[in-house]
Amino acid sequence: MTVLTISNVGLTLGGTAVLDDISLHVADGEFVSILGPSGSGKSSLFRLLTGALKPDRGEIRINGDQLSRNSQAFAFMPQRDALMPWRRIIDNVILGLEVQGMDRAQARAKVLPLFATFGLAGFEHHYPAQLSGGMRQRAALMRTIVQDRPIQLLDEPFGALDALTRTEMQRWLERRWQESRWTTLLVTHDVREAVALSDRIYVFSPRPARIIAEFTVPGPRPRLGRTLPPEAIRLEADLLDTLLTQTGD
């Protein structure tokens, strides 16, 4: 069942065309990536979904209904963990629940059993500065997931991590997604990440962004930590060729 439908969306900011006739969809339980060069408007699309911006044209529908400014459909994880340094990890994780009006004690009780699942058992009462980059990203993802929104928006969540930590986090996310099947829309410019994690991939052109290709990712999961099947390796090459053709390299 399709839960998110974006149809012919266009966006201009400050006289600059950012998105041009974007149409895509995401099904329930599907992991979809948007792949494109830096500055192509991928994050601007997320700002439309969260209500921070309004499209100039086109429409966005959730389960067939027009997206409203007060929609509770999306939980958003930004590029950096955005943890508040003065709040302990458990209180960072419950922040979204508190904003929704949940009592702090009730929110803590809800998230506490999840710390082991997210590899953070024993760190509930630490401060962000006491955790590694990967642990902070897991805390940020937990803060996103516990809001129980229909769709998770992940905006280059591992882009600020070093290569080893990023690979570890990708493997961890792949395992957690296979267990829970969160409906997920990921923004990335990392071809390997998109192929490893996604069911389908949309490729954006440089700004103003258009969808220039859509790929279904072949091969069984998990894909990280194992030899990719030939068809997945070919897909990586096709994605790189598509991106390079657009940038003129």
Domain coordinates of the chain in residue numbers?
Answer: 2-73+150-247, 80-148
> Does residue 247 surpass a pLDDT of 70?
no
Please report which confidence band the pLDDT of residue 226 belongs to, taking 50, 70 and 90 as the band edges: low
Q: Which residues contact 95 (CB under 8 A, 6 or more apart)?
A: 84, 87, 143
Please report which confidence band the pLDDT of residue 97 belongs to, taking 50, 70 and 90 as the band edges: very high
Q: What would the two tokens of residue 161 be?
A: 């991590």
Q: How far apart are CA 1 and CA 125, in angstroms?
A: 40
pLDDT at 204: 92
Whether 46 contacts 40, CB under 8 Å? no
> Does residue 34 surpass a pLDDT of 90?
yes
Whether 23 contacts 211, CB under 8 Å? yes
Q: Which CATH class is domain 2-73+150-247?
A: alpha beta
> Does residue 203 surpass a pLDDT of 70?
yes
pLDDT at 248: 53
- In degrees, to the nearest 5, what angle opens at C-alpha 180 toward C-alphas 69 and 38? 55
